[in-house]
Amino acid sequence: MIRQVRIRRRKPTVTASASLPPVVARILAARGLDQAPDYSLAGLLPPTLSGLQPGAELLARAIEHDQRILVVGDFDADGATGCTVAVRALKMMGARHVDWLVPDRFRHGYGLSPELVTEIGAPLPDVLLTVDQGISSLAGVALARQRGACVIVTDHHLPGPELPAADAIINPCLANDPFPSRALAGVGVVFYLMLALRKLLRERKHFAQRQPRLDALLDLVALGTVADLVPLDENNRRLVAQGLARIRAGRASPGVRALLEVAGRNLAWVSASDLGFAAAPRLNAAGRLDDMGIGIRCLLADSEREARSLADRLDQLNAERRQIQDEMQAHAEVQADRMSAELGAAVQGLCVFDPDWHQGVVGLVAGRLMERLQRPVIAFAPAEQGSAMLKGSGRSPSGLHMRDLLVDISNASPGLIERFGGHARAAGLSLARDHLEAFREAFDQRLAGADFGEEFVDTDGSLRGDEFAIETVAAIDQVGPWGQAWPEPLFDGRFHIESRRVVGQDHLKLRLRCADGGPGVDAMAFRAGRLCHQELPDPLHVTFRPELNRWRGQVSLQLIIQHLVKGEVDA
């Protein structure tokens, strides 16, 4: 979906390096780097998270005494990769009785719920290890410990006012935690726990021969980190860069390789965006529509054949998810247009609901609407067919903290929201269906008078004619990875349109020529077929990302159009 935006051009915050290609030096200087980054593992932050030592002690004891360990993951890509990292690492370090479990989105809800603990049966495993969840599972943790299990919580979500009574909690967002980064994904947190466990077992002379190489798990860490949209600070970029290097070198696990190949990606050229837009949606499709266990089994598969079979199933689920999402999106757009027509400029946020929607897809619908409107959106669906409970998923623009908004509503109207949790830009909640209108009113009241401002997009300026080249893209790729809070380079420029046509279902293929007399170049605007027959300005001012189009052994430059630029440039 191509939107009209105003743009700001990034300015350097340090002196640009003279040893780098000028366009790369400019990009890095605008992000505070005066030289090419070094993402070697030697620079990884040391494992100083509070809770690592007691957590490692419990796991070491379980391994040494042949106890049973159950890893309880989550039903998204971060939870699935984190669960896989834990299971693989524990087995690499000698654990013989390791199993895993993932909550069912529809039956158990989020986290280590009492329902899930009850369903595990008796006797409980000796150790329950949560991954990417558990920090808000007060009742579930209490029940598990009451039934005799030790509980280790690894999570990265913001804790509430009360912490679960676990035997160990590892979470970089805990108050006064000494770890320098709060940006770790769930998979990153459990990876650090495995590093601490290996160190402890090494000190105890546990390994008869060489200690296991945990860097073999970094392709999984990279996938989960990118998929969960956590900020790519330097430490996370290092983890992702190392994982990508393994994949490109042909050392990916069978599951990660199969997910990328079924999406048509060439592993030798894989990027962070391939993890985020190709592998992650297929993995997430299992948790949204079916059972994330399919995804975890794919990632745990040791044979190429098994991994590919499961990846094919995930690919089918993703196709089903896209079809469901398209239908829901169309209905949501109608609701949004009706509300906008009724309220006009007074629309500050939207709550949309349909009794036939699928709860596993409402977050995607909310995200798409939020992108279009640049307003907070919460989409609701029945918790299950005919249920009196609703599951909602909210997305917000940068000017609003979605989870804090839900905190305010819950505090002002106790009992209105059954449960909630999340981050600044995304949150989930449950409420009774007959509370929906009251929630809408509270939502509108909290947003009254909010100023989200005009949408601005930051760019890295324009490219000179000679910079529209394959070498430019290759140089930019070499200093990645790019992602959340470390934005992939985006440029803006003015072009004359030489030709345009619709390709695929709704994509616009263009041939552009630089307005300053530079070269002609191919371009693609995804989901922008409507622009094919509209009158457009000449020259056309757009934002774009240059990428390499590899087809039948040929490599060419292609621009991916992101936005139409309106007004003057805010330089």
CA max distance for the chain:
75
Q: Give the model's confidence band at 272: pLDDT under 50 very low, under 70 low, under 90 confident, else very high.
A: very high
260 closest CA partner among 220, 294, 290? 220
- Across the chain, mean pLDDT equals 93
292 closest CA partner among 100, 153, 443? 100
Helix (H, G, I), strand (E, B) or coil at 110: coil
At 400, the amino acid letter reads L
d(CA 136, CA 144): 14
pLDDT of residue 552: 78
361 closest CA partner among 397, 404, 318, 401? 318
At 184, the amino acid letter reads L
pLDDT of residue 23: 96
Percent of the chain residues topping a pLDDT of 70: 98
Intra-chain end-to-end CA distance of the chain, in Å: 25
SS3 content of the chain, % helix, strand, coil (to 5): 40, 20, 40
d(CA 217, CA 111): 24
Parallel, antiparallel or unpaired: strands 507-514 and 540-551: unpaired
Which of 106-115, 192-201, 557-566 has the least mean pLDDT? 106-115
Domains, the chain? 3-30+460-565 (2.40.50.460), 48-316 (3.90.1640.30), 348-447 (3.10.310.30)
pLDDT of residue 21: 93
219 closest CA partner among 305, 299, 312, 129? 299
d(CA 557, CA 512): 12
* Residues 134 and 55 sit within 8 Å (Cβ to Cβ): no
pLDDT of residue 135: 94
pLDDT, tens only, 364-399: 999 999 988 888 999 999 987 767 899 999 999 877
pLDDT of residue 551: 80
Is residue 347 predicted with pLDDT exceeding 80? no
Helix (H, G, I), strand (E, B) or coil at 332: helix
pLDDT (mean) for 155-164: 92
- Report residue 180 as tokens: 């320098």
pLDDT of residue 208: 86
d(CA 250, CA 417): 48
- Helix (H), strand (E), coil (C) string for 11-39: CCCCCCCCCCCHHHHHHHHCCCCCCCCCC
pTM here?
0.91
